[in-house]
Amino acid sequence: MEKTILDNATILCPEENGSFSVIDRGFLVVEEGVISEASEGEPDPSQQEKARMVDSSNLILMPGLVNTHGHAAMTLLRSYADDLPLMQWLQEKIWPIESKLSEEHFYWGTLLSMVEMIRSGTTTFTDMYFGMERVAQAAQESGMRAVISQGLFGLTEMKHQFLNDTEELINRWQGACSGRITVILGPHAPYTCPPDYLKEIIKFSQDKDLPLQIHLSETRDELKKHKIEHDNTPVQHLEKLGLLERPVLAAHCVHLSSEDIKILAENNVGVSHNPGSNLKLGCGIAPLKDMLQAGIKVGLGTDGASSNNNLDMFEEMRLAALLPKGLHEDPTLIPAPLAIDMATRMGADILFQEKLGKIKAGHKADIIGIDKSSPRLTPLHSITSNLVYSATGADVKLVMVDGNMLMEKGELLTLDEEKIKFEAQRSVDQLVRLVND
Ligand SMILES: [Zn+2]
């Protein structure tokens, strides 16, 4: 693998405590997929030998964004059903069309999501869905880093098939593409996975030493039904079953009691906060301030493109920073650096990816470059404020994952965008015809 030096750059470096330092004019050396140096000034002539030099004078370099929750192929269902309550949206619109999805849909839908994610600076994405072989294949081709799970549903006779599919996915893809692909377990939610099935999944997770991701406490309605059935909260239910003793990533966590927050903190559960999806589906606003105060690690996620409806992590950073300010009438809450930290280092942490989210020797070279000359970044009084409060994904011009360039000067290098948009449209047209017949 070649050595790459990104020079003349402004570099935003995360510190251990979640703050950021800035190198005004410096360079990054990337070798074998890993950052070997981040320094001020210019590289020595000897360092430049046999290196590919990338002039980054117009760029702010920072760690790539980590999307901690999503369903990539749902880009095909973007704007298919909007402005409906979650359960009605799922039961009447999403689940019927999802039942018709084929391998081809998973493939083109995932690639379409990757075009959008790379273009807006996401370097790692999380997926819990179906057709995961095709998702892994798309990750292999795009060069993105992926944390993927076969969705596990216990209310169907397919429930054991889903576990077999997970096993196959692990055998074929765990650690594939130089470690870019990670497979974890994906029990969909407490309301779709009865206790016995969850116990099987916990056992599987122990035997294979795998973390889990699960939707948790997303709507008030879910809590009401859960209370009638189990006389506790979904969080307490998972703790009682022993699931929280495993490494867990919980998505949403919108409706939490103070006891729930304590349980999540004590069990070191990582939370994926999805403000855009929660707002759009009318689920509510997650207690971000309380979760962070309790010491819970929180990353950001877009959720699927059918409930957001885009995959732009800049929008999630902005929402995560703005919502608590309005909700608690306190503009000091979630300052911009914290929002960036959630979208990078903390997000990587809750995805069990220790060597991500930092600009530091020995860490993975997952880096993005943001266009300093964008009107949205001018003037540049504060880089972190501009990134959170005014930039959008469209300001990202360079994306590197594992030392490989996926986008440079705004051009996608690993994916054929026109072909992917064409094939995604063609396959979704066919899908809609199938549902309407
Ligand atoms: Zn979801």
Token match 């999403």: residue?
A: 94
Do 306 and 374 reside in the same domain of the chain? no
- Mean pLDDT over each residue of the chain, to the nearest integer: 96
End-of-domain residue from the set 329, 350, 371 = 350
Whether the Cβ atoms of residue 384 and residue 12 lie closer than 8 Å to each other: yes
Report yes or no on 268 lying in a domain.
yes
Ligand 1 centroid to 236 CA: how many Å?
A: 20
Report yes or no on 186 lying in a domain.
yes
* Residues 272-283: tens digit of each pLDDT: 999 999 999 999
Ligand 1 centroid to 218 CA: how many Å?
A: 9
Do 90 and 144 reside in the same domain of the chain? yes
Beta-bridged to residue 401, according to DSSP, are 404
Check pLDDT > 80 for residue 284.
yes
Q: Give the model's pLDDT for residue 436.
A: 86
Which of 90-99, 174-183, 235-244 bottoms out in mean pLDDT, i.e. has the lowest? 90-99
* Local confidence band at 23 (pLDDT 50, 70, 90 cut-offs): very high
Report yes or no on 85 lying in a domain.
yes
- 401: domain CATH number is 2.30.40.10
Q: Give the model's pLDDT for residue 16.
A: 81
* Local confidence band at 89 (pLDDT 50, 70, 90 cut-offs): confident
Q: Once rounded to an integer, what is the mean pLDDT over residues 170-193?
A: 98
Report yes or no on 433 lying in a domain.
no
Report yes or no on 103 lying in a domain.
yes
Do 220 and 126 reside in the same domain of the chain? yes
* Local confidence band at 131 (pLDDT 50, 70, 90 cut-offs): very high
> Which phi and psi angles does 364 have, rounded to 5°?
-60, 140
Could you tell me what percent of the chain has a pLDDT over 90?
A: 94
Rounded CA-CA distance 159/163 in Å is: 7
Do 207 and 227 reside in the same domain of the chain? yes
Check pLDDT > 90 for residue 2.
no
pTM tops 0.85: yes
Ligand 1 centroid to 191 CA: how many Å?
A: 13
Residue 252, helix vs strand vs coil: strand
* Local confidence band at 437 (pLDDT 50, 70, 90 cut-offs): confident
Do 339 and 369 reside in the same domain of the chain? no
Ligand 1 centroid to 128 CA: how many Å?
A: 8
* Local confidence band at 214 (pLDDT 50, 70, 90 cut-offs): very high
Per-chain residues with Cβ under 5 A from ion ligand 1? 303
* Local confidence band at 90 (pLDDT 50, 70, 90 cut-offs): confident
Q: Give the model's pLDDT for residue 310.
A: 97
Q: Once rounded to an integer, what is the mean pLDDT over residues 35-56?
A: 95
Do 148 and 27 reside in the same domain of the chain? no
Ligand 1 centroid to 178 CA: how many Å?
A: 27
Do 49 and 83 reside in the same domain of the chain? no
* Local confidence band at 1 (pLDDT 50, 70, 90 cut-offs): low
Q: Once rounded to an integer, what is the mean pLDDT over residues 18-38?
A: 95
Do 365 and 322 reside in the same domain of the chain? no
Label the pairing between strands 59-63 and 367-371.
antiparallel
Report yes or no on 419 lying in a domain.
no
Q: Once rounded to an integer, what is the mean pLDDT over residues 340-365?
A: 95
End-of-domain residue from the set 321, 350, 379 = 350
Ligand 1 centroid to 309 CA: how many Å?
A: 13
Give 76's DSSP letter. Answer: G
Q: Once rounded to an integer, what is the mean pLDDT over residues 244-269?
A: 98
Ligand 1 centroid to 77 CA: how many Å?
A: 14
Do 158 and 217 reside in the same domain of the chain? yes
Could you tell me what percent of the chain has a pLDDT over 70?
A: 100
For residue 303, give its domain range. Answer: 66-350
- Give me 53's structure tokens: 């030099």
Do 369 and 408 reside in the same domain of the chain? yes
Do 241 and 373 reside in the same domain of the chain? no
* Residues 48-72: tens digit of each pLDDT: 999 999 999 999 999 999 999 999 9
Q: Look at residues 273, 311, 353, 274 and name the one whose alpha carbon lies nearest to residue 111.
A: 311
Q: Look at residues 406, 340, 386 and name the one whose alpha carbon lies nearest to residue 145.
A: 406
- 180: domain CATH number is 3.20.20.140
Q: Report the number of distinct structural domains present in the chain.
A: 2
Ligand 1 centroid to 304 CA: how many Å?
A: 6
Sheet holding 248-252, edge to edge: 212-216, 248-252, 270-273, 298-300
Report yes or no on 155 lying in a domain.
yes
Report yes or no on 118 lying in a domain.
yes
Longest dimension (CA), the chain: 70
Ligand 1 centroid to 156 CA: how many Å?
A: 19
> Which phi and psi angles does 4 have, rounded to 5°?
-120, 135
* Local confidence band at 319 (pLDDT 50, 70, 90 cut-offs): very high
Do 194 and 271 reside in the same domain of the chain? yes
